[in-house]
């Protein structure tokens, strides 16, 4: 039995899967099994996987497409090692990733459930290091920090299998950010250890920002807040910021009435942030005035963070 199970969900990535798998096979730490879960691909993904011809690779196929969360859960259920890692079929591990993570676990106290690394996110011609320097706490009890938003890449993690027995698997009913929701659950019971160096490369392709994508993003955030409301409610400033972001984005796509309700919620929870009140006042002047402010505000945030916020 291998010490580590590496779960790789994939869907129609025949042209990329071999490179992702090879980056795992090339690890300096070799006590692992790879579980590839094909989420009902319609291309020649299976053929690409079979061509690798390595006895440590196990291939599982879904007959129906279920989404990345469900595919990862299938891999977790099939795993029998002490630790579980994740790789995406379009990303790349650097050779010492697993070895360095296992060394941290060997010296870590039992309350540590997750060891994660930094990584490079490549988007078009831009190369950003994540997590950004503005993340206040990256080690130990990072539950509060995670409530603010996600800064941990799923393929950057190595997780004790016992964590999944304790808190459950990935949420299958949301199409994105299921990793963030899982980290929130795990961080209630376990500490995290961070390796401050890029040991993974993520190739990110952003979709178009339109009304449909913004509404989908809002729905996911609402789901996560509602599921963990007691935890968010303990930190009023964090909860109010999420409500402001929801209201801000709803107003930006013309849903002024619903957007104002969330802006009012943000003000009631944390009235000390003046921008909540200013945005509510500006929304009274209609969509045109609001659109101008939205554009300026988004550019300002991009300059400060150089990284995508939760919305």
pLDDT digits (tens, 9 = 90+) for 85-114: 999 988 999 999 999 999 999 999 999 999
What is the structure's pLDDT at 253? 85
Residue 140 has what DSSP assignment? B
Per-residue pLDDT band for 306 (boundaries 50, 70, 90) equals very low
What is the structure's pLDDT at 251? 85
What is the structure's pLDDT at 1? 84
The total number of residues written for the chain in this structure: 311
Q: What are phi and psi of 210, to 5 degrees?
A: -140, 180
- The answer to which of 134-143, 207-216, 255-264, 297-306 has the lowest mean pLDDT is 297-306
CB 158 within 8 A of CB 195: no
Per-residue pLDDT band for 296 (boundaries 50, 70, 90) equals low
What 3-state DSSP class applies to 256? helix
Mean pLDDT of all residues belonging to the chain: 91
Question: Which one has a higher pLDDT value, 178 or 304?
Answer: 178
* pLDDT above 60 (res 235): yes
What is the structure's pLDDT at 209? 65
Question: Which one has a higher pLDDT value, 290 or 21?
Answer: 21
* pLDDT above 60 (res 310): no
The per-residue pLDDT for range 37-72, each reduced to its tens digit, is 999 999 999 999 999 989 999 999 999 999 999 999
What is the structure's pLDDT at 122? 93
Paired strand residues for 57: 34
The per-residue pLDDT for range 273-288, each reduced to its tens digit, is 888 888 777 776 666 6
Of 270, 260, 262, nearest to 237 (Cα)?
A: 270
* CA dist., res. 83 & res. 128, Å (int): 28
- Percent of the chain predicted with pLDDT > 90: 76
Per-residue pLDDT band for 297 (boundaries 50, 70, 90) equals low
What is the structure's pLDDT at 88? 93
End-to-end CA distance of the chain: 41
* CA dist., res. 264 & res. 276, Å (int): 8
* CA dist., res. 185 & res. 105, Å (int): 20
Q: Are strands 92-93 and 191-203 parallel, antiparallel or unpaired?
A: antiparallel
Across the range 145-171, mean pLDDT stands at 97
Report all structural domains of the chain as residue ranges with CATH numbers, in order of start: 4-203 (3.90.550.10), 211-305 (no CATH)
Task: Write the secondary structure of 35-72 as one string of H (helix), E (strand) and C (coil).
Answer: EEEECCCCCCHHHHHHCCCCCCEEEEECCCCCCHHHHH
Paired strand residues for 33: 5
Per-residue pLDDT band for 298 (boundaries 50, 70, 90) equals low
CB 236 within 8 A of CB 154: no
Across the range 163-178, mean pLDDT stands at 96
Question: Which one has a higher pLDDT value, 253 or 299?
Answer: 253
Quick one: residue 149, left, alpha or beta (phi over 0 = left, psi -120 to 50 = alpha)? Answer: left
Per-residue pLDDT band for 204 (boundaries 50, 70, 90) equals confident
How far, in whole angstroms, is CA 250 from its chain's centroid? 23
* CA dist., res. 132 & res. 53, Å (int): 39
What is the structure's pLDDT at 307? 44
Across the range 141-167, mean pLDDT stands at 98
Question: How far, in Å, are 35, 57, 181, 189 from residue 113 at the CA level?
Answer: 21, 25, 16, 8
* CA dist., res. 109 & res. 31, Å (int): 22
* pLDDT above 50 (res 301): yes
Per-residue pLDDT band for 207 (boundaries 50, 70, 90) equals low
């Amino acid at each position: 039995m291998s010490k580590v199970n590496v779960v790789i969900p994939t869907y129609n990535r025949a042209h990329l899967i071999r490179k992702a798998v090879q980056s795992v096979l090339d690890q300096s730490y070799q006590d692992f099994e790879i579980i590839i879960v094909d989420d009902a691909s319609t291309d020649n993904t299976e053929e690409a996987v079979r061509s690798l011809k390595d006895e440590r690779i196990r291939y599982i196929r879904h007959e129906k497409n279920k989404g990345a969360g469900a595919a990862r859960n299938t891999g977790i259920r099939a795993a029998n090692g002490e630790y579980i890692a994740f790789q995406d079929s379009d990303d790349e591990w650097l050779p010492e990733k697993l070895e360095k993570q296992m060394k941290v676990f060997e010296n870590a106290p039992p309350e540590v459930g997750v060891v994660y690394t930094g990584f490079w996110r490549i988007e078009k011609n831009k190369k950003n290091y994540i997590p950004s320097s503005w993340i206040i706490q990256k080690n130990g009890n990072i539950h509060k920090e995670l409530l603010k938003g996600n800064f941990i890449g799923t393929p950057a993690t190595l997780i004790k299998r016992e964590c999944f027995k304790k808190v459950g698997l990935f949420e299958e009913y949301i199409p994105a950010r299921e990793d963030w929701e899982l980290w929130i659950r795990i961080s209630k019971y376990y500490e995290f250890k961070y390796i401050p160096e890029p040991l993974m490369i993520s190739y990110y392709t952003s979709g178009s920002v339109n009304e449909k994508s913004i509404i989908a993003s809002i729905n996911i955030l609402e789901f996560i807040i509602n599921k963990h409301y007691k935890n968010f409610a303990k930190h009023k400033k964090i909860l109010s910021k999420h409500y402001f972001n929801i209201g801000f984005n709803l107003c930006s796509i013309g849903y002024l009435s619903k957007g104002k309700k969330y802006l009012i919620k943000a003000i009631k929870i944390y009235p000390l942030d003046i921008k909540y009140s200013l945005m509510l006042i500006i929304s009274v002047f209609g969509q045109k005035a609001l659109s101008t402010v939205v554009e300026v505000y988004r550019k300002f945030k991009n300059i400060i963070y150089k990284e995508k916020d939760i919305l």
